[in-house]
Structure 1
């Protein structure tokens, strides 16, 4: 029960912080043609991920009161199955992707992702709430909640669907801006430097990275599950 209470507290804190961070005004961080483009802050994967993570943690809260948190398939409630599917196919891979790619690019060449002149516009605590918390929180959440991964087909379908949907979204925004202003503007400047072929290869590579993160999440969860089962068996042997 203590583990479940800790999970509830973590879910509440994560949901509140991410909800508040979602409301942060990012307009001052965008300039030039990108500021005029359609989509507002919702063209950025970081912001969409914050909403996704917030929804997931609210789902965890609802599941605490009305669902289950068990490793036994027969005892899994519908709410837990939905929670676990969102965790496996969306929350973990996307949350880790945002965290890993942002900080990797930041340390490689921060001008590509977060120039120094933005430091006074985006407080460090907000930056970490956007780009660090999603990855850290989802790993901690897995320590205190029991997750049963869905079938590979369902889990990977979720991953591929979200990748295709976001790729379609940014291409749509590029098309709209071209129609309005006759300018080739992309959400992320690196995309404008690539030809159609290399842009496609780049996006496929990012999708494969998401798939890799899905399998990492699956292995991480399986390790925790086996560890918990071993501890439970040890306790049962001691009672006997």
Structure 2
């Protein structure tokens, strides 16, 4: 019951955060129309992750009540497979990568990732919701819910597909608008940008591997079978 309540509460909370971020908060440099502003906001990985969190926790809650909906407690509901793949390959590694990357760059030079002018626009609670609490949420989820992880190779492939999708989107926006999504990209040389991307992908792969390793340690020690 507690797990169901946590999933539902976080799903509702993320719904409220998305509504506030996309429809209420106004950026001075944003496009004038609402539709264009929505597209403009989806430049950021944090917005992708915000939406993924919301989808994940709704899917998780549906999976919690899946035996009631499907009427078969012995057969694994397809929603649980969707939940596990979404969490292990996308939500977990991305939600650990963002806090590490964001706060590391913030401490080096905040203008590279989060210019000071945003302090007057983005509430402190929203900043931490998007860049800090996401890590806490996935670590808590990993501790209280057993997920089936794919093989290491398949997992790395899924992480790579998601990360490369975002990178392609970033480069397309650079080509279309002649402006980088993040100031740090503008500050780097071409070689530096390549190294930054390689390191970022490596960190994402590491967090997937770490999540899988901790998952096996957590659930094997508790007697739950890991497929």
TM-score by length of 2: 0.84
Q: What RMSD over aligned residues (CA atoms) do the two structures have, in Å?
A: 2.6
Check whether the contact 1:11–1:57 (CA below 8 A) recurs between aligned residues.
Answer: yes
Unpaired runs of 5+ residues, structure 2, are: 69-73
Deviates more, 1:58-67 or 1:107-116: 107-116
Determine the C-alpha separation between the residues in 1 that align with 2:110 and 2:62: 39
TM superposition shift of 1:60: 0.3
Aligned residues between the structures = 213
Match of 2:17 among 5, 8, 21: 21
Number of the residue aligned with 2:216 = 222
Number of the residue aligned with 1:123 = 123
TM superposition shift of 1:27: 4.2
Determine the C-alpha separation between the residues in 2 that align with 1:187 and 1:93: 21
Shift in CA distance, 37/189, structure 1 to aligned 2, threshold 3 Å? farther
SS in 1 for 2:120: coil
Check whether the contact 2:143–2:218 (CA below 8 A) recurs between aligned residues.
Answer: yes
* Bigger Rg, structure 1 or 2: 1
Shift in CA distance, 59/67, structure 1 to aligned 2, threshold 3 Å? farther
Determine the C-alpha separation between the residues in 2 that align with 1:41 and 1:8: 31
Check whether the contact 1:39–1:173 (CA below 8 A) recurs between aligned residues.
Answer: no
Shift in CA distance, 37/202, structure 1 to aligned 2, threshold 3 Å? farther
Residues 186-197 of structure 1 mapped to structure 2, 5 A cutoff: 186-197=180-191
Shift in CA distance, 172/84, structure 1 to aligned 2, threshold 3 Å? same
Residues 169-184 of structure 1 mapped to structure 2, 5 A cutoff: 169-177=169-177, 184=178
Check whether the contact 1:85–1:149 (CA below 8 A) recurs between aligned residues.
Answer: yes
TM superposition shift of 1:165: 0.5
Deviates more, 1:85-94 or 1:185-194: 185-194
Deviates more, 1:151-160 or 1:48-57: 151-160
Number of the residue aligned with 1:97 = 97
TM superposition shift of 1:136: 0.6
TM-score by length of 1: 0.80
Check whether the contact 1:17–1:129 (CA below 8 A) recurs between aligned residues.
Answer: no
Residues 27-46 of structure 1 mapped to structure 2, 5 A cutoff: 27-28=26-27, 30=29, 39-46=39-46
Deviates more, 1:214-223 or 1:190-199: 190-199
TM superposition shift of 1:8: 1.3
